[in-house]
Amino acid sequence: MTDFITYQERLDYIVQLAKTSSTGTPESLATKLGVSKRTIKRMIFVLREKGIPIKYNRNLMTYQILTQ
């Protein structure tokens, strides 16, 4: 049996990881999700379009959810 993860499940997983600052770099996140770096960039764009305040922290080298 193969593991099938839907696009929405991947988006939810990115948000979950970003809340704990544990996505890693776009490259490592792409590896975790089995997608390309470009797909990660598109997924981050989709999350932002949905109103999720996600940003990449260059110092910590991870995506984070911004809190107000």
Distance CA 37, CA 68 (A): 28
Mean pLDDT value across residues 10-22: 96
| Nearest CA-CA partner of 44 in 67, 68, 17 | 17
Mean pLDDT value across residues 7-33: 96
Q: Quote the percentage of the chain above a pLDDT of 70.
A: 93
Identify the three-state secondary structure at position 67: coil
pLDDT band at 12 (very low <50, low <70, confident <90, very high): very high
pLDDT of the residue at 1 = 41
CB atoms within 10 A of CB 43: 21
Give me the DSSP letters along 50-64. Answer: TT--EEEETTTTEEE
Q: At residue 23, does pLDDT exceed 70?
A: yes
Q: At residue 37, does pLDDT exceed 50?
A: yes
